[in-house]
Structure 1
Amino acid sequence: MTSMTASITLHQPRRLIVGAGTIGDVGGLVSDATSTLVIATPITAGFIERLKLPGKIEIFDAIPGEPDVATLEAALTTARRVKPQVVVGLGGGSVLDVAKLVAVLWDSEQTLADVAGPNKVAGRNVRLIQVATTAGTGSEAGIRSLITDPVKGAKIAVESPHMIADVAVLDPQLTFTVPPAVTAATGVDAMAHCVEAFTNKRAHPMIDGFARMGFRLVGKYLARAVKDGSDTEAREGMMLASYYGGICLGPVNTAAGHAIAYPLGTRLGLPHGLANAIVFPHVLAFNQPVVRDKTTEVAEALGFGASSPDALLENACRFCTDLNIEMQLSCHGAKEDDLAGYAAEAHANRRLMDNNPAEMSVADVLAVYKAAY
């Protein structure tokens, strides 16, 4: 694990607004804007009036669950027509990721290929406001965006401080209508961000603090939010957990759990949160012997014990099934013959696999898929 003397750089939104009804503050913060582009989905576009935006408003709402290169190009085409002074991301992680890239690319000579990887974005000339409507990815907090390359069937990762939001809004009222199944899966995804950063080879004491706050909030509030979607306290607690997870992603990032989950999204078409929820217990148990104390801390925060990897796996799976998450890949359309291909692809994702505290072979990754099958 990284020592306190290791260097670390932390990026956060320039302004964070938290609380019920705070979406209404956005318009006043950009009162001088004459042209705004809102990136949304057909569902989250229903919240646009609550933003109280001034001037001309254009909406791009063709954002699928796993946005790909074509999605981004369509959004950029709209932006180049609109020439916005402000870009607003209004939605979950997919929407917020697209909004970041639109904000930095629409008036730039750079392409997605030019900026893929860390610190290649030249700059940004528009204001970026990120309004989260789910509690999962924490994308509103961070400097990273993921877009699917349909040809390679892999995620293209772009990371740059130029993609940090000028304003991030966490309004729990926007999550009241998120269905229980989505609340559960995205909540486990938020927890996975925190846990994977906490147990990471690159873990840092400063980020550990954010991670602890995140997974403790999940342990306290996720079941409540699933049971009663209008529980404002629980919804706000989960939005904070998601935000803390997003902070963890920048300087530390995730590890094997997310690497193993990605093919389930790009190849099988599972929503990102659900894919991570299915994988999470298996990787947590696999890593336990290497990060025993931290794993025990996670388990206790979630309300169960971690006496052995087998017991931990059983308890962590029960935590998820108690949230009514279907944990078997076979029930989500996976084919057993495809698992080896998923394993090879996940293992090749060294950007994340190299962060994992325990070394994993291709066979180890395949064993995770088979156990989850």
Structure 2
Amino acid sequence: MLTDYVLQMPRAVYGGEHALENITGIMQGVKKAAVFTDQGIIGAGLLEYPLSLIKETGVETVVLGDLPAEPTCDQTQEVINRFRESGADFIVAVGGGSVMDTAKLASVLSTENFCVRDLLDNPSLGEKGIKTLMIPTTAGTGSEATPNSIVAVPEKELKVGIVNAAMIADYVILDSRMIKMLPRKIAAATGVDALAHAIECFTSKKSNPFSDTFALEALDMIMNNIEDACDKPEAMDAKKAMLTASFYAGVAITASGTTAVHALSYPLGGKYHIPHGVANAMMLVPVMKFNEPACREKFALAYDRIVKTDKTAETPEEKSAWIINRLDEIVKHLEIPSSLKDYGIGSNDLEFLVTAGMGVQRLLVNNMREVTPDDARNLYLEIM
């Protein structure tokens, strides 16, 4: 656990049943807003209401809506170039992690001094030039809370995280109306992504009182609501809990950091284009089983918080086993793919995965138990 730590958060976070209506006040003084989104959001009709609220204020808008899912650094740069040409003085992101990550990068690359590829080598080059409003449409990535942006780097066949405190949003709106009709498949994958954020940050070497506060609350809310939120379209209380928990888990990332689950999942997305949440779901239980000897006390604390009634586990070993078993139950219940074979990945790919995964030392150094190349190899073999 860290002995020196810091908590960085957005300037203002609006939640509740009518959170979107705060757009009117946020837009005061804005002349032109660039709205980052994607075709899935537009096609689902989710952009209509936020955009109408912006336009009601008299603010001019330009919609940048052709961002692909999980974009490369160069695709992200193309959108940022169009943003620069728009002359907008404010950024609104309506979407999932890729949309918000791109919008955050645009906010620190509003001039032509640097590009996305420059930040791959030196993230600190980015400087906040434009204020941002994040409106998440999934309950999972937590991007609305973090200083992180994830982009794929084609030549490395890997996803890379760009981290710069200047990318933390100025405003966030958490309105459960934006996730009410989220397809179960997407709700499941993004929800498990948030689950991974929470438990990884809680068991990270960088954990601290700030991160533990948010990570443990997120873990409690997610593990007790994720199944209903995904299974039942009208379970709005569960969906509200997931949206809040996703944000909390994102805050935990800013104060702590994810570990081997995310590190080993990055090559699965970078080369094989497995959705980020699915890749994390695949790695979650194997890594937590591997980490159990080093994280037993933390798992026991999580059990004490999460289990409200019928507390059958008594020893730290029993409590820890319960947590890992519950994680496994959730992933199976949500029917998330669990084998790399589903994506045509086999033994011939193993050494690439080991090399690429071990290259994500930014996150592996956070893991409570050291991960060697042999360990990584065995973890990948578990899901082949």
Instruction: Decide whether aligned partners of structure 1 residues 42 and 25 sit closer, same or farther in structure 2, where only a CA change above 3 A counts.
Output: same
User: Is the counterpart of residue 34 in structure 1 residue 31 in structure 2?
Assistant: yes
Is the contact between residue 118 and residue 159 of structure 1 (CA under 8 Å) also seen in structure 2? no
Shift in Å, 1:332: 3.1
* 1-structure distance, mates of 2:275, 2:231: 21
Deviations, residues 112-152 of structure 1 (Å, cap 9, x unaligned): 23333676145223221111110111000111111111111
Give me the whole-angstrom Cα distance separating, in 2, the residues matched to 1:106 and 1:126: 7
Kept in 2: contact 1:199–1:291 (CA 8 A) = yes
Which whole-Å CA distance do the structure 1 matches of 2:10 and 2:321 have between them?
A: 40
Q: Larger deviation: 67-76 or 129-138?
A: 67-76
Instruction: Give the letter for the 2:181 counterpart.
Output: T
Amino acid of the residue matched to residue 47 of structure 1? L
What SS does structure 2 have at the residue aligned with 1:17?
Answer: strand
Aligned mates of 1:255, 1:129 — CA distance in 2: 28
Partner of 1:50: 49
Structure 2 length-normalised TM? 0.90
- Tell me the distance in 1 between the aligned counterparts of 2:34 and 2:333: 40
Can you list the C-alpha shifts for 1:72-126, whole angstroms capped at 9, x where unaligned?
1211121122111111111111110000001111224122233336761452232
Aligned equivalents of 1:26 and 1:248: distance in 2?
A: 26
Is 1:233 aligned to residue 237 of structure 2?
yes
Asked whether the equivalents of residues 281 and 313 of structure 1 are also in contact (C-alpha less than 8 Å), the reply is yes
Given candidates 145, 148, 172, the residue that maps to 2:149 is: 145
CA 1:63–1:119: 2 relative to 1, 3 Å: closer
Pair 1:222–1:27, CA change in 2 (3 A):
same
- Change in CA separation of 1:25 and 1:106 when aligned onto 2, cut-off 3 Å: same
Which residue in 1 is equivalent to 2:380?
Answer: 369
Aligned to 1:214: 218
Structure 2: gaps (5+ residues): none
What SS class does the counterpart of residue 176 from structure 1 fall into? coil
**SS in structure 2 of the partner of residue 290 of structure 1:** helix
Structure 2 distance, partners of 1:370, 1:301, is: 33
Counterpart contact for 2:210–2:252, Cα < 8 Å: no
Aligned to 2:182: 178
Report the equivalent of 2:8.
11
Contact 2:36 2:103 in 1 (8 A): yes
* In 2: Cα distance, 1:108 partner to 1:240 partner: 36
Q: How far off its partner does 1:70 sit?
A: 2.1
Uncovered stretches (5+) of structure 1, i.e. residues with no partner? none
Equivalent position SS for 1:145: strand
Match of 1:101 in 2: 105
In structure 2, relative to structure 1, the CA distance for the partners of 1:310 and 1:224 (3 Å cut) is closer
Match of 1:358 in 2: 369
Amino acid aligned to 1:217: M
Summarize the Cα distance change of 1:298–1:261 in structure 2 as closer, same or farther, 3 Å threshold: farther
Cα RMSD (Å)? 2.1
Q: Is the 8 A contact 1:176 1:235 kept in 2?
A: yes
User: 99-108 or 259-268: which moved more?
Assistant: 99-108
Deviation string, structure 1 residues 193-226 (Cα, Å, up to 9, x no partner): 1111111111112211111000000111101101
**Distance in 1 (alpha carbons) for counterparts of 2:120 and 2:224:** 37
Q: Which residue of 2 aligns with 1:62?
A: 66
- Contact 2:195–2:219 (CA<8 Å) still a contact in 1? yes
Q: Say whether the 8 Å CA contact 2:220–2:305 is kept in structure 1.
A: yes
Q: TM-score, normalised by structure 1?
A: 0.93
Query: Which residue type is aligned with residue 7 of structure 2?
Result: L
Q: Which moved more, 1:227-236 or 1:86-95?
A: 227-236
Instruction: Quote the residue 2:331 is aligned against.
Output: 320
Instruction: Note if contact 1:221-1:238 (Cα within 8 Å) is conserved in structure 2.
Output: yes
Letter paired with 2:148:
R
Does 1:333 pair with 2:344?
A: yes
Runs of 4+, deviation exceeding 4 Å: 299-306, 308-315
Hey, what's the Cα distance between the residues in 1 that align with 2:169 and 2:321?
A: 42
CA distance in 1, matches of 2:185, 2:278: 9
Count how many residue pairs are aligned between Structure 1 and Structure 2: 370
Partner of 1:24: 21
CA distance in 2, matches of 1:156, 1:215: 25
Q: Comparing 269-278 with 222-231, which one deviates more in the overlay?
A: 222-231
Residue number in structure 1 paired with 2:276: 272
Q: Percent identity?
A: 28
Query: Alpha carbons of 1:60 and 1:280: their partners in 2 closer, same or farther (altered >3 Å)?
Result: same
Q: Structure 1 309/47 Cα, relative in aligned 2: closer, same or farther at 3 Å?
A: closer
Q: Corresponding residue for 1:307?
A: 318
Segment drifting more, 331-340 vs 299-308: 299-308
Q: Classify the secondary structure of the residue corresponding to 1:156.
A: strand
